[in-house]
Structures are given as structure tokens and as C-alpha cells.
Amino acid sequence: MACINKLSGDIEFDKCVDAPQAGVLDNAILINYDDIDFGASTSNGATITNLTLKSGATGYKLEWGKRLGSLASEFTPDAENLDGFSHSFLARLMTPSASTAERAAEIKEGRFVVVIETKYKGVDQLDAFKVLGWKSGLELSEMTMNSGENASSITFTISTYEGEYEDYPYSIFLETDYATSKASFDALFASVA
């Protein structure tokens, strides 16, 4: 990526055409970072135009209710290294079962990229899918379960690892148009073996 040292375009807003909406929908795709074929994937600036997984790999759907997931990004200045952005994704493992406990243990050991559909879609739905962790991946930073709170669900946050950074506050996944992007999302970005 070339160094950016100047603003290169207007920052416009038309509330009649492009009204912002907060929030995400009720599911996300978690992709094991090591399953992404970065050599075959393509991006242009903050837009990922082709997200390709290694042969036989797939993403994994994480579902929750009542739009209880969220994503966040913050600028992280660093006196000793490059400045960048830190990403975080907060979600819930809704069902207090053995399978959920096993997925929680896997999340504890993993590094992920998250693709999530937001309520805000942008003009012509071109900004519907946000991607977190594209450069560095996201790792578990917090996980809690309390039988007296959150209906016994496990809440967790995966974040950019301390000392690492992302180039953009988020990336957009856009494979031609919304319908094509949605089809890849719904198919879990699976690669046929």
C-alpha cells in the first residue's frame, strides 16, 4: 500500500440518498485467518473485490438474536511503529450447550477475519458488507459467561492484537454488486476442494 499523506477527494453526505443507519444484522461469517488465500484474493484500497479461501476451506456462520452483535474501529497512534486502526467485533454465543463451549474454546485459540452485513447498505447497496481483520486478523480479547446475565449466553470480543494494526477503519466486501456479494456471503465463502 502506498503511503497516504494528503486527502484526495471530497467527503460528501446527502441525507436523502445516503441516510446512515446504525447496527448490524443477526449473523456474521467468521473465517479462519489461515484459510484465506491472500494471493488469489483481490482488493483495491479499502474494497475487497474477491475473497478467496484455500481449497476445501469455508467460513463459519455465527448467529444471534435481536441484533446483539456489533463492530467497532478506532485509530491507534503509535510512537514507535506505524499508526493504524484497531478493529473489534462483539457477539454472543446464544445457546448454553456443549457445542457452544467447544466453539468458545476454538475461538480462544484462533485468529479470524469477520464479514458482517450492516443495516447501512450505501448507495446501490455497495457498502453492505464490512470486513474486520483483513490485514492482521482478530483474536479473542474478552469472553464472559454468567448464568444470571444475558440469558446465560457467552459474550465475546475478538480484536486486533496489541501492537498490530489495520490500514483502514474497516474494509468493504464488494464482489461486482450486492447480489453477487450476498451470494458469496450466504455460501460462507466456501471453496470447493
Q: Look at residue 122 in the predicted model and tell me its pLDDT.
A: 86
Whole-number Å distance between alpha carbons of 28 and 84? 24
State how far the Cα of 143 lies from the Cα of 110, in Å rounded to an integer: 13
Which of these, 158, 13, 144, lies nearest to 72 by C-alpha position? 158
Q: For residue 16, what pLDDT is reported?
A: 65
Better-scored residue on pLDDT, 134 or 193: 134
Residue 147: predicted pLDDT: 84
pLDDT band of 192, cuts 50, 70, 90: low
Residue 41 has a pLDDT of: 97
pLDDT one-digit tens code per residue, 152-182: 889 999 999 988 999 999 999 999 999 999 9
What per-residue confidence (pLDDT) applies to 39? 96
Q: In which band, very low, low, confident or very high, does the pLDDT at 123 lie, cut at 50, 70 and 90? A: confident
Of residues 6 and 23, the one with the higher pLDDT is 6
pLDDT at 12: 72
* Average pLDDT in the chain: 89
Whole-number pLDDT of residue 193: 60
pLDDT at 36 exceeding the cut of 60: yes
pLDDT at 25 over 80: no
Contact yes or no for 168/160 (Cβ under 8 A):
no
Buried/exposed code over 61-93 (b: 16+ C-beta within 10 A; e: otherwise): ebebeeeebebebeebeeeeeeebbbbbbbbbb
Average pLDDT of span 140-157: 89
- Check pLDDT > 80 for residue 92: yes
Task: Provide the residue ranges of all domains of the chain, joining segments of one domain with +.
Answer: 24-186
